[in-house]
Amino acid sequence: MNLVLFGPPGAGKGTQAKVLQETRGLPQLSTGDMLRAAIAAKSELGLKVEAILAKGDLVSDDIVIGIIDQRLNQPDAAKGAVFDGFPRTIPQAEALDKLLESRGKKIDLVIELKVDEAVLLGRAEQRVKETIAKGGTPRADDTPETVKNRLDVYRKNTAPLVAYYQKQGKVVTVDGMAPIADVTKAIDAAVAQKSR
């Protein structure tokens, strides 16, 4: 099964993608994680995208489509994947449909995590605090200013994807404000229904 976890930054996509990886054995394909890994490795790609991520703007479609294309060639993605933070634009969604089609696959399900955007800023602040408490380094793009920009970018470029996938009849909406365990349960039910 190929599944897209959809929602604004801070909606809990990463958390739920990790649960699905555990419970369903579907690898989490997070372009954000891949880009951060490239930045940490100071690779050519990392150097190119570092300032873009720090601002909360979008990396070019070509770059992220290329990353996903390569990632889909790895054996663990053969039985499906959970897309987390990709696609973020209509051209990315169209490219993903083509990449999957060329491999005899398709997006089976899109889970839209519905959240109150006003709460997301608070969540970002919480994440920063928790990461520091654990002795880690918070994400450079979790500052209130950048989170605001990421939400603006989401509204403008990414939110229209809901209609794109609704036209394909693939969207199941889940209340992302519910406790994490309840969100997990709702997603699990949607995945189970689709697998039947």
Residues of this chain that interact with ligand AMP (CB under 6 A) are 9, 31-32, 35, 52-53, 56-59, 64, 85-88, 92, 141, 150
Joined together, the tokens standing for residue 79 give 């039985």
Which residue, 73 or 195, is less far from ligand AMP as judged by CB?
A: 73
Which residue, 45 or 193, is less far from ligand AMP as judged by CB?
A: 45
Is 13 in the active site?
Answer: yes
Ranked by CB distance to ligand AMP, the top (closest) residue is: 32
- In single-letter form, the type of residue at position 75 comes to P
Is 123 in the active site?
Answer: no
In the three-class reduction of DSSP (H, G, I as helix; E, B as strand; rest coil), residue 174 is classed as strand
Catalytic residue among 71, 88, 105, 170: 88
Report yes or no: 146 and 56 within 8 Å, Cβ to Cβ.
Answer: yes
CA distances from residue 27 to 75, 80, 84, 136, 187 in whole angstroms, order as listed: 10, 8, 10, 24, 16
Name the nearest CA neighbour of 90 among 112, 61, 56, 49. Answer: 61
Is 139 in the active site?
Answer: yes
Which residue, 6 or 86, is less far from ligand AMP as judged by CB?
A: 86
Report yes or no: 16 and 179 within 8 Å, Cβ to Cβ.
Answer: no
Is 105 in the active site?
Answer: no
Catalytic residue among 114, 123, 139, 148: 139
Is 196 in the active site?
Answer: no
- Tell me the closest approach of the beta carbon of residue 51 to ligand AMP, in angstroms: 10
Place of tokens 């519910």: 178
Catalytic positions are: 13, 88, 127, 139, 150
